[in-house]
Amino acid sequence: MKKIFLIGIGVMIFLGLITAKPDKTTDKSDKPSVSPSPTATAQSAPGDEKEQQQGDFLKLYKETIDIVYPIKKIFYSTNGLLTKVPTTTSYLNYKNAEETYKKCSVYFTFASTPVSLKAFKNDFEQSFRELSIACTILQEDAKYMADYINTNNMESYRKSQEELKKGPIKIISNAISRLVYGVGEKIGVDIKPLNDEFKEMSERIPRDFEAEYGK
């Protein structure tokens, strides 16, 4: 039961984070663009406007990381526990993860660009789109793994591996990097703490897992 609780905690944290609806004052187009905003720079936002941009960016970035961290932790824990817990426990963990990834995908589908940062709308929307896609890939992986565990269907296992070949964790990292360099750095945010935090977060997940369950 302790091991099930580990996954459950991640789910509860995540569900609590996504209950807040996107700010209705934000700006969002129906068709996200994949093009960056090369002309948008910190110099275009003097004084109070620049301060507003930085504040809005850091708030949105923190909200994004607060969702990405549980997602990465659930992914690592669910797969790491596969050979360490009873079959029933693994099945439940994957089913819980599937639902969590689904909510993650929906959240980022409807995430919006702060009005003060509309010059970087393309960068935000591409990152949100990639985060949504990554969560959808993880959702499919969890669905197929749950079926494989429940039915021993090797075709489901094969489909799970095909989903993982799409690189959902790398997609997440690229999306976060775009926010940091495509927006944060351009508006004068000190990006070193952001990069250090993301690196430490990624290293902490396997370290905490091994401390709890062993290698």
Sign of CA dihedral 33, 165, 100, 55: negative
For residue 183 the two structure tokens come to 């927006």
With 90 as the cut, is the pLDDT of residue 174 above it?
A: yes
Does any domain span residue 97?
Answer: yes
At residue 22, the pLDDT reads 45
Instruction: Look at the chain and report how many structural domains it folds into.
Output: 1
Does any domain span residue 24?
Answer: no
Bridge partners, residue 113, by sequence? 27
With 50 as the cut, is the pLDDT of residue 9 above it?
A: no
At residue 32, the pLDDT reads 35
Does any domain span residue 52?
Answer: no
Q: Is 157 exposed, middle or buried (0-12, 13-18, 19+ CB in 10 A)?
A: middle
Rounded-to-integer distance, Cα 32 and Cα 122, Å: 7
DSSP class of residue 181 equals: I
For residue 188 the two structure tokens come to 């004068």
Render pLDDT for 48-64 as a digit per residue (tens, 0 to 9). 899 999 999 999 999 99
Q: What stretches of the chain show up as alpha helix (H) in DSSP?
A: 2-17, 47-80, 87-109, 121-151, 154-164, 168-179, 192-213
Rounded-to-integer distance, Cα 56 and Cα 50, Å: 10
What value does the mean pLDDT take over residues 16-44? Answer: 43
What value does the mean pLDDT take over residues 178-182? Answer: 97
Does any domain span residue 8?
Answer: no
Amino acid identity, residue 8?
A: G
Rounded-to-integer distance, Cα 138 and Cα 105, Å: 10
Does any domain span residue 48?
Answer: no
Render pLDDT for 138-152 as a digit per residue (tens, 0 to 9). 999 999 999 999 999
Q: Calculate the average pLDDT of the chain.
A: 85
Does any domain span residue 105?
Answer: yes
The closest of 123, 115, 128 to 67, measured between CA atoms, is 128
At residue 215, the pLDDT reads 77
DSSP class of residue 27 equals: B
With 80 as the cut, is the pLDDT of residue 15 above it?
A: no
Does any domain span residue 166?
Answer: yes
What domain range is 113 assigned to? 62-213
Does any domain span residue 111?
Answer: yes
